[in-house]
Chains A and B, each alone.
Chain A
């Protein structure tokens, strides 16, 4: 089971994603934005960071990278693709997911351990969660406000494509408290918070049990492993 993580100029969390994949029990494969080679991976993670310095729009230039032609093709054929933060921004810019992400409504960068609710546990990346399970993973962004026109929002809500919703605090002004969404097929998922930073005791968000022990992010990766091996 090989999961590719694409590194773009300005990616920050690519190695964290690789580590999460390893801890979940799969083999991480480093992929490079400038190539067309997916190296026979079974799934792909678009990591967080500030690709191309967020110039033009967040994720916009990266969404036109050479390797994204292969990612779009593979995603349309059903390969699981997860976009985290800047990766989510790339997925909307590449039109693999609808809507857009804009500057936080309060105008500031926000970093917090964020509670989100798993609204759809039938996607390739969420099948190890209970329906409506509330989890805590880190969030860190300046442009995480999810927006879409009224028709798109209605469709997302009506068809159960809102995958994650912020609970307690809406950290960026996202419409309908949307933290993440999926495509119809459930193989492409994008979210602003960072599951790859909550995969190992001692290095995750605080829990009621102990400091930095949150591991809720690990099941994103065990979910996709279960899906591919099924």
Chain B
């Protein structure tokens, strides 16, 4: 089935305590190459039928209205997942 991916991240200026905790753990494990971690969300919306411009517009709308909270998060991407032969 075609899939639309919606990616949401905490706004740039917002403290991301979960990401900070992971960054701290990486530092303790000696992974000093990675200086920061931010954690966001990826939604995979399975579409009944082909992905059209209208479907993408619907997905963008729910991404703004429901899947993210514009006060604390930004929608980073809304796009159709590339078809892959072995995907579920």
Contact = CB atoms under 8 A, between A and B. Distances in A.
Contacts, number: 36
A125 B67 CA distance: 32
B71 A148 contact: yes
Contact of A93 (B18, B21, B69): B69
A147 interface: yes
B71 A92 contact: yes
Interface in B7-27: 10, 14-15, 17-18, 20-21
A112 interface: no
A160 interface: no
A208 to B, nearest CB: 34
B66 interface: yes
A100 B71 CA distance: 6
Interface stretch (A41-49, A102-110, A179-187, A212-220): A102-110
A60 B66 contact: yes
A102 B14 CA distance: 9
A32 B37 CA distance: 40
A57 interface: yes
A103 B71 contact: no
Interface residues of B, number: 12
Contacts of B20: 107
Interface string A139-150: 000000101110
Contacts of A148: 71
Contact of A147 (B14, B18, B21, B66): B14
Interface in A91-127: 92-93, 98-100, 102-107
A147 B72 contact: yes
Contact of A100 (B18, B66, B72): B72
Contact of B72 (A102, A104, A107): A102
Contact of A173 (B10, B15, B21): B15
Contacts of A102: 10, 14-15, 17, 72
Contacts of A93: 69
B61 to A, nearest CB: 14
Given A60-B66, A64-B66, A147 B71 contact: yes
Interface of A: 56-57, 60, 64, 92-93, 98-100, 102-107, 145, 147-149, 173
